[in-house]
Structure 1
Amino acid sequence: MQYQSFLIKYAEIGVKGKNRFLFEDALVAHIRHALKRLDGDFIVSKESGRIYATAQSEFDFDEVVESLSRIFGIAAICPMVQVEDNGYEDLKQQVLTYVDQYYDDKHFTFKVYARRGNKRYPVNSEQINRDLGEVILHTFPDTKVDVHKPDVMLYVEVRNKINIYSKIIPGPGGMPVGTNGKAMLLLSGGIDSPVAGYMIAKRGVKIDAVYFHAPPYTSERAKEKVIDLAKLVSRYSGPVHLHIVNFTDIQLYIYDKCPHEELTIIMRRYMMRIAEHLAGEAGAQALITGESIGQVASQTMQSLAATDAACTIPVFRPVIGFDKQEIVDVSEKIGTYETSVLPFEDCCTIFVAKHPVTKPSIKMIERSEEKLEEKIDELVETAIRTVEKVWC
């Protein structure tokens, strides 16, 4: 027998006080949008700290769970049976029917955990626990009670209707996307930046992305790889507006005019300037990067400070304290790792110096950038004017 209803729980939203309804409504909207794209017809509703998705037609259970498990703000997904309150004896029978239909093998230990949200219900929670435990033991003698580590935790919630469930599928947590502003992700073809975008989106931030392309030094396949990564991130973050910037002329000009040991820092500073401009056009309040302290020469404390000095809006670095394996673990969890390790290099890896500076001073970098004054503004303007936009 297939479940027809899902109880969807949230966690952090519950502490939002008088503004909680705004976050609940955003979460309900995301759930409706996700389920609308699947086969099956669902009614999504909310009631006193609970959100329900009730099927009105046949559906693919695994597909629905997978879709819900990518919605930030959901703490848990509970397939359930929801029944009308037709009296206490009927409740006992409904629980027995649930156990019989959803557990073919009755050799298990269990515990009943009842919550009486409807305080007008004539039986309190403790009594419900005892009575339901008794009828289960009597009806299914192969079962046993274990209040410490049961095989089956049977939840019974007495509200306007009665919810019966025993499976709790973890959700991604976080906050509904769009409830905490918007930011621009600097998306490369590597492992780190998709993880950074995922992590900031998890905090309720809507993200757009920018990719710096350097043809013919980077191939069209490298660009397609980044588009694929944006699509993978968008499964969690919602649609991503990807801005593809042709960065070749800027890189070549910097390569020609500036000390080679400073190439990476200066190129990163111009990326940040362009990303900040695009963020302003898109209504984003911050930038996101996948940098981690000490991972490469451009990610030392001094290098990051020099990079940040090029822009005026905040720069979020959610993986700043992660080691590489921790970042890899998240990338595998969200499904971006296999695409990230495809052998198509981005522009940062093509134009890297043999001995890059690791402790640059901002004044030193600014002096080197003075050598670019003749053409750099024109090149940046052209790069911004010719941005290719892809909806992912």
Structure 2
Amino acid sequence: MINRESGSLEQNSHEERNLLETPDSATDSTSEETADDTGQCMTRTMLKQLSLVLLTLQNALLILVMRYTRTRKGDMYFATTAVVLSEGLKVLTSLMILAAQEGTFIKLMCYLRDNIWRQPLDCLKVSVPAFIYTLQNNLLYIALSNLDAATFQVSYQLKILTTALFSVLMLKKKLSPQQWSSLVILFVGVALVQFRPEDSKSSKTATTDQRPSVGLFAVILSCFMSGFAGVYFEKILKGTKQSLWLRNVQLGSMSVIIGLITMEIKDGPKIQERGFFFGYDYVVWIVIVFQSLGGLLVAVVVKYADNILKGFATSAAIVLSCIASIYLFDFKLSFPFTTGAFLVIISVYIYSKFVPENSLPQVNVGKEKSPSRLM
């Protein structure tokens, strides 16, 4: 009896200790999970803020630096070669992301073999947007050779209008009444920007061979190309299970091939005479890097932020471009330009703010899916 009672007492004592220890262990486990969630939340917040800052700077600096390289004195580089290099860098960047997702080089090669080499018809799907994007990128150089950075930055927002129209026609998307109103405001704003007094058109970088009408035509044509190609590419992404980065590899590879053909047709004899890298310096390489990383930054912003913040980054880039143009290129603001730029910024915000529910497509970016609007 004594031993039995003693054993019973020891067992009860052991159970009491377990009961006392259980809450502590549960608390520790809960604390660890809370700490993990807090850490992940902080990481996402940092990535969101960083991606927004980088996208804003990229949007503004690309236009400013590209304008500078096309109007400065000295040897002028061939824009067609810059387009080829920027597309090649896009392919390299997408391959690096795919390699990180697959884990090893061998797995990456097997993945590319199964999804590219063994599916040539699937790769041909991206040939249409690749051709259009290549022409569009060449048009951007023509536009910035004939328009100041501020006017180009504001006018180029017409791509929102063209993308919206092609989305309605090709993808049967529905726009909210506020979005339709914002498109009208956008058109009015861009139109106002084009009407500026003669004395406000002078700049330090202006040259006699610049033709604003040619630059404006290049911008408008580029906006229509951007809208159609973006919606076409979005339709491809929605219709397949392939990841966004694989599609970027396919798109970039086709763009490099088409870019080389365009380069040979337009500048072939001159390149043979002067060399592929004629007129290149570190500033031109900055343009190439900025242009190639634009799509990647948009994907990151959409993944970790949202469409409203993406629109905010676009608006901030317009403001930065205008301010920088005043100091760098002696750009002179006028009342029509200021009013038009303000209307464009407001329209971008309204269009991004009032998005109908369930209107964002699900695009596979790799191991997980996230909504993405290709603009």
TM-score (normalizing by structure 2):
0.21
TM-score by length of 1: 0.21
Bigger RCO of structures 1 and 2 (CA < 8 A, at least 6 apart): 2
More strand as a share of residues: 1
- Which protein has the bigger helix share? 2
